[in-house]
Structure 1
Amino acid sequence: MTQDRDIHAYLAEFDDIPGTRVFTARRARQGYQLNQFAMSLMKAENREHWKADERAYLADWKLTDEQKQAVLDRDYTKLLDLGGNIYFLSKIFSTDGQSFLQAVSTMSGMSLEDYTAMMIAGGRSPEGVRSIKGKN
């Protein structure tokens, strides 16, 4: 990258990768409170409060309404779009008793079994759509 290139334009290019959300500084700022909430679930007492009343627990956090709803819906793809970091969000699905594999499979549109088989076989093929804008 040359020094005269706009860093924001460069980072925006990552949004053109289909099915991928690169955790940029913009996403980190957008999801700061969301990720702090998720990390709070590392403490047993916080997990207990969360399990007792999710809405009440979320009320104590400065999340957007859209972030709160995505948490309640366990819509991890939406949470990534809203600034969530998958490693922080893992505290939510771990609290729900889900493995990383189970939670991530929900983002693929595949069954757990199909997703597992795909990953064992080497993951998604690099062939196919490589650009959202260019559809190539």
Structure 2
Amino acid sequence: MALDKAFHEIPGTIVFDAEQARKGYWLNQFCMSLMKAENRAKFKADERAYLDGWKLTEAQKQAVIDRDLNRMMALGGNIYFLSKIGATDGKSFQQMAGSMTGMSEEAYREMMIKGGRSIEGNRRIGEDGDAQRPRKD
């Protein structure tokens, strides 16, 4: 049973803890398989067939196909494992991070050079009158 963790009150925060590790075990194992050239070739040749060879949930498979990194993380993916998908696609970590924020690579880089994301609206839920809790996947 999941504990009510304080970090669930921080918008956009997914902490890779034991619960997330269990949820994403096969997703992360799939990602690690992409370290081998022959597996990358199989994946690129027929993504769905390659994914069907793993014990991933349908939601995890669809998130991979969509390259929705935020969804993959919500479904237990660890960004360091997920970076193998980006590398397979020829993407830099910076390009991947930009896609996770809805920004272009250039806009993301500029934001980071200027000190990162503003803390406005990125504190705990309820600090700016927002009483909604984020969904737990």
1:32-47 equivalences under 5 Å are: 32-47=25-40
Aligned: 1:101 with 2:111: no
| Greater Cα offset, 47-56 or 107-116 | 107-116
1:85-120 per-residue CA deviation (whole Å, 9 max, x = no partner) reads 000000001000000000110110222211110011
Aligned: 1:8 with 2:3: yes
Amino acid at match of 2:3: H
Partners of 2:69 and 2:100 within 8 A in 1: yes
Query: CA separation in 2, counterparts of 1:65 and 1:114?
Result: 32
Select which of 74, 80, 84 maps to 1:91. 84
Aligned: 1:79 with 2:75: no
Amino acid at match of 1:60: G
Partners of 1:90 and 1:100 within 8 A in 2: yes
What percentage of aligned pairs have identical amino acids?
A: 63
1:45-98 per-residue CA deviation (whole Å, 9 max, x = no partner) reads 100111111011001000000000000000000000000000000000100000
- Paired residues, what number? 127
Amino acid at match of 1:8: L
* Contiguous gaps of at least 5 residues in structure 2: 129-137
1:13-24 equivalences under 5 Å are: 13-24=6-17
- Give SS of 1:107's match: helix
Give 4+ residue runs of structure 1 displaced > 2 Å after superposition: 125-129
* Counterpart for residue 41 of structure 2: 48
TM-score norm. by structure 1 comes to 0.88
Amino acid at match of 1:63: L
Partners of 1:35 and 1:88 within 8 A in 2: yes
Give the CA RMSD over aligned residues. 1.4
* Contiguous gaps of at least 5 residues in structure 1: 1-6
